[in-house]
Amino acid sequence: MLTSRERVIRTFYHEKTDRIPIDYLTNAGIDRKLKKHFGLREDDDEGLRQALHVDFREVTVPYTGPELHPPRPGLIVDPAWGFRRKWVTHNWGGYWEFTDFPLKDLTMEKAESWPMPSPDDFDYSAVTEQCNQWKDLALYVGNPGLGDMMNTTGFWCGMEVAYISVGLRDPAWLRLIDRRLAIQLEMTERMLEIAKGRIDFMWLGEDLGQQTGPLISLKDYREVLRPRHQKFVDLAKAYGIPVMFHSCGSSSWAFEDFIEMGISAIDTLQPEVANMEPAYLKATYGDRLAFHGMISTAGPLATGTADEFKKSLREILSIMMPGGGYFLSPTHEIQDNTPLENALALYEMGLKWGTY
C-alpha cells in the first residue's frame, strides 16, 4: 500500500497508484455532523480526516504580528488584512459573508496606505512542526486564496469594483493586488525553504468562470492575471513541485494557458456548468492535466437520495479514473443542505470504488 504522499505525487504525474487520493472540503455545519457521527470532539480536525482517509494536509503559518485592523461591532475583522465579515442567515444555517467594503472608493492613496502585514509577522516554526507531524501525508502550501486577485480584492472593494478594475487596468487596483501578492510570494518562498523538500505541491486560485462562461476575457487574463500567477508557478518550479489551480465556474477556456504556464492540475470542476462536463474535460485535457473535484456540491450530493448520489458518483469515477490523474474531492465545501448520509457515502464509496 502506498503512503498518502506517494499516492498524491504519482497522481499528479498520471502514474499508477493503489487508489485515488481523497480530499476533504466542507462547511462548519456538516463538519460538526461528521465529527458527531464518528464520536469525535468538535475541534478534532485531524481525527475526522483520518476517519475519512483524507490524503491531504495544508501547511500554514499563524499570524503573530500586530493588530493592523481593529474590531468593529457586529463584524469579524481580519487583524492582518482588514477583511470584514457579517453573519448572514439562510434556509439551512448561515455564513460570515463579506458585506462591508472599506476600499469601495479605491484611490491610489488608499491602495498605498492600506495596512498589510509584513512577511516577518508570521510564525514559520509551524512549518517544521507540521512537516514532522504529517510525515506520510501529502502536504501543500497555499489554497484557493493564494495568488487570487479579483476574488480577494472583492472582499475589500466589492466585486463590481474588482471586475471593472480588471477591464480598465486601474492603477490603484493593480497597486493593491501587487502589494498583497508580493507578501504572499515571499511568505510562500520562506515556507518552501524551511520545509526542505517536504512540501509536495502548491495550490493557487482565482475564480474565472460563471455558470455559462468566463467572468473576464482571455485577453484580460493574459495581460493582467497570468503574469502575476506565473510568478507563483515559477517559484513552485524552482522547488521542484507541481501546481494545482482552483477556479469555480466555467473555466476550461483558460486551460491551454494553464498548461503553457506549467500548471499540473485543476481544482473545483463543477460538472453542471458550461464546458466542464467530466467526459469533455477528460477527453480534451486528461493526458495533460490532473483533476481535483468534480463531485458537485449543487448536484446529487446535496439534492439526491443516497442511491441517486451513489449512482452519480460511480458514473463520474468511471470517467475520471482511467489513466490516472484524478483526486476525489467535492467541488467546493459541502453545504448544510447536504444529507449526512450522502456526505458519508462520498468518502465510503469513494474509498471502496476508487481502487485500481
What was the pLDDT predicted at 144?
Answer: 96
Joined grid coordinates for residue 266: 485543476
Q: Give the residue among 140, 121, 135 at the shortest CA–CA distance from 68.
A: 121
Residue 143's pLDDT is 97
* Separation between Cα atoms, residue 246 and residue 269, nearest integer Å: 9
Strand partners, 93: 90
Asked if the structure places residue 83 within a domain, the reply is: no
Question: Do 174 and 161 touch, CB atoms closer than 8 A?
Answer: no
Within 8 A by CB and 6+ apart from 166, the residues are: 149, 150, 173, 216, 220, 224, 225
Residue 91 has pLDDT above 90, yes or no: no
Amino acid at position 11, single letter = T
Residue 93 has pLDDT above 90, yes or no: no
Q: What is the per-residue pLDDT across 179-207, written as a single tens digit (0 to 9) for each?
A: 999 999 999 999 999 999 999 999 999 99
Mean pLDDT to the nearest integer, 301-316: 98
Please, which pLDDT band fits residue 232 given cuts at 50, 70 and 90?
very high
Question: What's the pLDDT band for 89 if we cut at 50, 70, 90?
Answer: confident
Give the pLDDT mean for 215-229. 98
Task: Assess if residue 93 is contained within a domain.
Answer: no
Task: Give the pLDDT confidence score for residue 95 in this predicted structure.
Answer: 84
**Is residue 139 over pLDDT 90?**
yes
Task: Give the CATH number for residue 270.
Answer: 3.20.20.210
- Rounded Cα–Cα distance for residues 97 and 51 (Å): 30
In this prediction, residue 92 carries a pLDDT of: 78
Domain span at 252 = 4-71+103-353
Whether the per-residue pLDDT at 75 is higher than 90: the answer is yes
Within a domain: residue 11? yes
Distance CA 153, CA 331 (A): 23
Residue 87 lies in a domain: no
Confidence of residue 71 (pLDDT cuts 50, 70, 90): very high
Domain-embedded: residue 343: yes
In a domain, 150, yes or no: yes
Mean pLDDT of 154-158: 97
Assess contact for 250 and 216: CB atoms under 8 A.
no
77 domain-assigned:
no
pTM of the model: 0.97
Average pLDDT of every residue of the chain: 97
Structurally, the chain folds into a number of domains equal to 1
**Which residues have a Cβ under 8 Å from the Cβ of 121 and sit 6 or more positions away?**
63, 64, 65, 66, 80
**Residue 99: predicted pLDDT:** 87
pLDDT at 61: 98
Q: Quick check: is 26 in a domain?
A: yes
